[in-house]
Structure formats: structure tokens, C-alpha cells
Amino acid sequence: MRSKNLQQIILTLERFWDRRGCVLQQAYDVEVGAGTMAPETFLRVLGPEPYRVAYVMPSRRPTDGRYGDNPNRVQKHHQYQVILKPAPADVQDLYLESLAALGIDLGRHDLRFEEDNWESPTLGAWGVGWQVLLDGLEITQFTYFQQAGGVELDPTSAEITYGLERIATFIAQVDSIYDLGWSDDVSYRDIRHREEVEFSRYNFEEANVEMLFRLFALYEEESRRLAAMDLVLPAYDYCLKCSHTFNLLDARGAISVTERVGIIARVRQLACEVARRYLESRERQGFPLLGRSALPQPEPAS
């Protein structure tokens, strides 16, 4: 197996999905907990328009921070997110081909699709699918979206979320993500370790709880106000900000279990409102991408 560093893995996936008709997007510039939350997934899966997109998404989960001490857990990791809408019949094969493109010889490894149904109470979204295990390591979350923002989805989109650090450690056969090569000369540790230390300290110890609660209320109000004006995309940004603020408060231990359910419901309300209005807005625009059936024309890998 040819060993690849992290950015080579990203490049390989970019090339692979480019050939299969995906729009190659860039990471979204608001903090999110997962690639699913970026508008290119959460909003694009709504409604009848076909779409194929792929992008890297840095994903922040403040409670997973370990001050840079844990070899696998970090408060920010990178997902490679692919949305295929509608889900093609050979979607599992496409995914497996992408692993082969990364140099993983599936005849010599134990690859399995194990039941794992994804659900996000904050987004009012769920789907069914699998976690993909490679020699026991979860490398991908594979989901057929059934609902987003409380809206039933038709057609069904397939979402492939690669855990980039996981795949990279598998390929490089290293025990710690900090030992990964980011490029040939610069390691993951060089680039990210200090960030983990500082953000762990911020997330767990220094984040200003009172300010965060205030911000949450402000963001929430702003999202509602913007949604009411049909400024759907900005409204969604503020919904995402609420979600991240909630995650920070959670990491600070500032939210009791009782409050938790209520706050999640508030964010979900924003998300559902945005989803509903986004769909209406696309409809008013005449679902512009609807005619582009040429969009997803897979090409055989060369």
C-alpha cells in the first residue's frame, strides 16, 4: 500500500469525486459540528433538485477535546463530505471504488457495513445507514437521508462522510493522529497540536459562560428575524452559530440535562423554519437545478 499523507488523501478524493460529477465545494466558514450541517448538505438535500457535491469540512466538537494528549480524540477533526442526490443505485460501489483509489486493498482487509442510523435532534434530521468499519476502525458514516429540518426528503440523498484522520491513520498505520504527515514535510502535530491545547483550555475552562448564553439568545433572535424576512441563508448562519454556542456551553458543563432538551428544541425550531422557507424559496425560483439531469454522469475511473 502506498502511504499517503493527509493532503494527498484529500487530493485523491477530490479527483475521484470530480470525475463522478460532483461540485467541489470549499469548507463552509461558520463553525459546525459536522459536514452535514453545512448548507451544501442541509439545504441542498431538500426538494426535488438533483445535486452532487463534495467538500472537506473541519468539524468542531468541543467536548471531544483532550488537550492534545489523546492519540485519537480532538475537538476539531476533518470530514470529507459527499452528497449524491438522488442516491444512485451503485452508490456503495462508488464508495468502495474511492477506497480503492486511496490504495486500500479490500481483498486483504475486513470491510463491513454495520447498522448505524444517524439522527440529529438539533437539525430535525435523520437517516438510516451504516458505519463503515475497516479492520474494526470506523472510517465512514454512510447515510440515506430521510428527513432534514422536519421535511421529508424526496428524492433520497446518499451522504458519505469520511473521517479523514481515521482513514489517514489507517493508511499510514500509525497509532496517533499527531504522527500523521499533513504534507510530506509537515506533520499533523506541527500544524494542529497547539490548536488542540489552546482550544481544549478555552472550551473546558475559559469560555465565558455568561457571554455565551447572551450570544445564544442574540443569535437565536437574529435567526428568527432574518427567517421572517425570507433571508433564509443568513438565518441559517445564525442557526449554526446557536448550535456551536450550545456545544461550547455544553463543554463548559453549563447546561443541565433539563435545560439541554429545551435548548436543542430551540435550535431545531430555527433549523426547521429555515428548511421550510428555503424550500419555498427554491420553489419560487422554479427549482433552477431541476433540468440539469446531465449533472451526475459518472465516468469510469481511469
Partner 1 sequence: MEEIPASMIADAAEQLAGRLAAALLEHRLPAGKRTLWHTPRRIILGLEDIPVRQSDLEETIMGPPRRVAYDAAGKPTRAALGFAEKNGVSLARVGVVETPKGEYLSLVRRVRGEPAGRILARLIPEAIGSIQFPKTMHWSPDHFRFARPVRWIVALFGGRVVRFRLADVASSRYTSGHRFLGRRRIAVRSLESLGEALQRNAVLADPAQRRARIEAGLAECAARAGGRLLEDAALLETVVNLNEAPSVVLGNFEERFLALPQEILITVMREHQKYFSVLDGEGRLLPCFLAVVNLFSDPGGDIQAGHERVLRARLADAAFFWETDRRQALADRAPALRNVLFQEKLGSYDEKSRRVLELLPRLAEALGRREWLADLETAARMYKCDLITEMVKEFTDLQGVVGGLYARAEGYPETVWRAVYEQYYPKSTASPSPSTGHGAVLALADRLDTVTGCFAIGLVPSGSGDPFAVRRQGNGILKILFDHRLSLSLGRAIEWSLAAHGRVPADTAAELGRFFEGRLRFLFEEMGFAYDCVHAVLAAGFDDPLDALDRLRALEEIRQEADFLSLASNFKRVVNILAKAGEGTDPAAGPTGSEVEESLLTETAERALYRSFLGIRPEVDAARRRHDYVRTLRLMASMRGAVDTFFNDVMVMAEDPATRRNRIALLSAISRLFNSVADISRIVVEKGA
- Member of 62, 65, 127, 149 binding partner 1 (CB under 8 A): 127
Q: Any contact of residue 92 with partner 1 (CB under 8 A)? A: yes
294 binds partner 1 (CB under 8 A): no
CA distance 30 to 235: 12
Q: Which amino acid is at 194?
A: R
Q: Does 70 bind partner 1 (CB under 8 A)?
A: yes
Q: Which of 144, 182, 202, 287 binds partner 1 (CB under 8 A)?
A: 144
Residues 6+ apart with CB under 8 A from 214: none
- Contacting partner 1 (CB under 8 A), which of 81, 146, 223, 247? 146
Q: Per CB under 8 A, which region of 70-78, 191-199, 210-218, 241-249 contacts partner 1?
A: 70-78
CB 21 within 8 A of CB 86: no
* Cα–Cα distance, 7 to 174 (Å, whole number): 16
Binding mask 164-183 for partner 1 (x = CB under 8 A): ------x--x-x--------
Please identify, using beta-carbon distances, which residue of 135 and 195 lies nearer to partner 1.
135
Q: Which of 2, 26, 115, 294 binds partner 1 (CB under 8 A)?
A: 115
Report which of 146, 65, 122, 105 is spatially closest to residue 246, judged by C-alpha positions: 122
Within 10 angstroms of residue 273's Cβ, the number of other Cβ atoms is 21
137 near partner 1, rule: CB under 8 A: yes
| Cβ atoms < 10 Å from Cβ of 208 | 12
Relative to beta strand 137-148, strand 151-152 is antiparallel
Residue 135 sits in the site that holds partner 1 (CB under 8 A): yes
Among 2, 26, 29, 108, binds partner 1 (CB under 8 A): 108
Q: Which segments of the chain does DSSP mark as H helices, in order?
A: 6-19, 39-42, 91-101, 164-172, 188-201, 209-228, 232-251, 257-284
Q: Does 206 bind partner 1 (CB under 8 A)?
A: no
Q: Give me the torsion for CA of 101, 103, 105, 110, rounded to 10°.
A: -90
The smaller minimum CB distance to partner 1, of residues 25 and 247, is found at 247
CB of 1 to partner 1, least distance (A): 9
Beta carbon nearer to partner 1, 134 or 239: 134
Give the residue with the Cβ less far from partner 1, 27 or 133: 133
Return the residue of 117, 183, 208, 285 that touches partner 1, per CB under 8 A: 117
Can you tell me the distance from the alpha carbon of 173 to that of 68, in angstroms, rounded to the nearest whole number?
A: 20
Q: Provide CB contacts within 8 A for 284, sequence distance 6+.
A: none
Q: Which stretches of the chain bind partner 1, using CB under 8 A?
A: 70-73, 87, 89, 92, 96, 106-115, 117, 127-128, 130, 134-137, 144, 146, 154-156, 170, 173, 175, 253, 256-258
